[in-house]
Structure 1
Amino acid sequence: MARVNALIATRMASEHAPRIPEVTRHLVEAGGKRLRPLLTLAAARLCGYEGEHHVRLAATVEFIHTATLLHDDVVDESSQRRGRPTANLLWDNQSSVLVGDYLFARSFQLMVETGSLRVLDILSNAAAVIAEGEVLQLSAARSLGTGQDTYLQVIRGKTAALFAAATESGAVIAGAPDSHVAALRTYGDALGIAFQLVDDLLDYGGVSATLGKNTGDDFRERKMSLPVILAVAQADPEQRAFWTRVIERGDQRDGDLEHAQTLMRRHGALEETRSRAFARADEARAALAALPASALRDTLSDLAGFVVSRVA
């Protein structure tokens, strides 16, 4: 990871536009769990890789992730990310969008440097799926008609796609057999879904200092996350009228977030979301059984537990 961080610092530089490293550094150095690049490194090493290309791929994955965060904060009009003001708040929307574009371009340069057409296919496809998921979320948000299938498609795009690409590309660069590549892709996909389910759950019951965002952000942005979808599915006419007002019409008042949380608890929506997150973590762990036993495989298994431990 030290080599990955050094490569990120080098590649986010710009000879002619100093704002690019300023904006990027603000987000990259804010912390974050660095799960995606770690997954790439771990997958490659788990498959016996001893070269240097996994470092490039890990930096690629982090650049794609950072670019999507910059764009997301503009789309969502967010003011906080990882406990700090967002780049679009400190600079402006134009800078966030254009620096995000620059990071996407840098990520493709790094992919090409590996010389693997298969890796380029995996990561470029993931970038397209991420964008597709974000656009789908735009059309699905603020509509009580959004169902669980659409929600799953959204989070597969916006989160799980990059987790899966991170683990799959690490295995591919190592020349792993197809069965191991498939197992690590399944692991990344399930881990990413678990991660997003936990994130959506914490938005209705987390602590801002721990999350690096404000509790209730999804509610204020009127997102149809799983806790809302489950609560709406069981709502009586009075409760549905409440959800219509706060989600579809955007008429939110003092105490509405707390009332939403009450309805979610009453209908078991929060507990059901938690249960599904744990099921996906179990699915991720099960996928690792196809890989040779090793300390690194055990670490990846433990990571699945860590992802859901935030709501344990």
Structure 2
Amino acid sequence: MYDKTKIHINKEVKEIEKQLNSYINSDQNTINEACQYLLTSGGKRIRPLFTLIASQFGEHYSRDVITVATTLELIHMASLVHDDVIDKSDKRRGKPTIAKKWDVQTAVITGNYLLSQSLNAVSQIEHPKLHEQLANGIIEVCRGELFQFEDQFVSNQSITNYLRRIKCKTALLISLSTELGAYAARADDETVKKLTKIGYYIGMSYQIVDDILDFTSTEKKLGKPVGSDLRNGHLTLPVLLRMKNSKDFKASINELQPDSPSEVFDGLVQEIIKSPELQKSKEVSNHYLQKAENLIDTLNNESGKKMLLEIIVKIRDRNH
């Protein structure tokens, strides 16, 4: 195993940025402009970071690690574009979405182009398992988008439905990042399995926190209106828990329609903001983080462990 400082990690993140720029480059001006716009719109590069950290638990560094990280980010970028089309969203990270800045057709084609380029990127890797896992990842992301679409304004869905949805929407790609980062660096099977679970637990927690912040943060920090998920018909954990504990709230959700007056949505959002279900949701998130932390403690690379534990602290304390 080998240790990397954060300086080395930062250098590799820059290399991933170069690869992303290379793959999104197109001689078709509109696609090129839309991809560049998305790339520079403030993404956190969380999946590449997890890939790089997980690679520290392997025996041999490989350029495949960079390619895996690039591929996963391209898949993620494509999913964001498609999500915005499905939700008819006008803003992402405080900026107009591609569908808003250009049009829906351009957004769909841009998302498809990014997915195609992710396949182009992974073709540079010679390991069949990496191909298979990344292909399955694309399938699951698509299933997640379908689940989210099917569950819109469906009031009788279960918390299990929600967990399945966020697994495909967020946890899967983070889990793949930690799994394939370790695998590409030739980590042993047991370590790869542990890192896969760690990525899953962190991904689940991260999305639950995201769903909490949709109510507790500000429009400026969110880059979109507070309560956007509920306004788009996405029933997240705070809402589902509130429905279990309040018959009146559940009845209001049952009557909710896409064209319900904004005052109705405002009232429901305010009820969630004042409810104890936000803290209960936080407890579920922290439960996933604790499971991740327990597994991290069993790993061997101290530098990698430290970075993973720092991420857990940031998620636990995250407020935007």
* TM-score, reference length from structure 2: 0.91
Return the alpha-carbon distance in structure 2 between the equivalents of residues 18 and 249 of structure 1: 35
Return the alpha-carbon distance in structure 2 between the equivalents of residues 109 and 259 of structure 1: 45
Identity %: 28
What residue in structure 1 maps to residue 178 of structure 2?
167
1:277 to 269, 285, 291: 285
SS in 1 for 2:263: coil
What residue in structure 1 maps to residue 34 of structure 2?
23
1:78-137 C-alpha deviation (Å, 9 max, x unpaired): 011111111110011111111111111111121121111111111111111111111112
1:109 to 90, 102, 120: 120
SS in 1 for 2:197: helix
What residue in structure 1 maps to residue 97 of structure 2?
86
* Distance change (3 Å), C-alpha of 1:305 and 1:11: same
- 1:75 and 2:83 matched: no
**Runs of 4+ in structure 1 over 4 Å off:** none
Q: Tell me if the contact between 2:217 and 2:226 (Cα under 8 Å) persists in the aligned partners.
A: yes
Deviation at 1:153, TM superposition (A): 0.3
Return the alpha-carbon distance in structure 2 between the equivalents of residues 260 and 214 of structure 1: 11
Deviation at 1:250, TM superposition (A): 4.4
1:203-241 C-alpha deviation (Å, 9 max, x unpaired): 1111222223321111210111111111111222x4333
What residue in structure 2 maps to residue 42 of structure 1?
53
What residue in structure 1 maps to residue 271 of structure 2?
262
What residue in structure 1 maps to residue 26 of structure 2?
14
Moved more, 65-74 or 96-105: 96-105
* Distance change (3 Å), C-alpha of 1:191 and 1:261: same
Return the alpha-carbon distance in structure 1 between the equivalents of residues 259 and 153 of structure 2: 8
Return the alpha-carbon distance in structure 2 between the equivalents of residues 202 and 263 of structure 1: 11
1:295 to 275, 293, 303: 303
Return the alpha-carbon distance in structure 2 between the equivalents of residues 270 and 64 of structure 1: 30
Gaps in structure 2 of 5+ consecutive residues = 1-12
* TM-score, reference length from structure 1: 0.94
* Distance change (3 Å), C-alpha of 1:40 and 1:263: closer
* Distance change (3 Å), C-alpha of 1:135 and 1:291: same
Gaps in structure 1 of 5+ consecutive residues = none
1:307 to 289, 296, 315: 315
Q: Tell me if the contact between 1:39 and 1:167 (Cα under 8 Å) persists in the aligned partners.
A: yes
Question: Within 5 A, what are the aligned runs for 1:168-183?
Answer: 168-183=179-194
- 1:197 and 2:208 matched: yes
Q: Tell me if the contact between 1:78 and 1:86 (Cα under 8 Å) persists in the aligned partners.
A: yes
Q: Tell me if the contact between 2:23 and 2:121 (Cα under 8 Å) persists in the aligned partners.
A: no
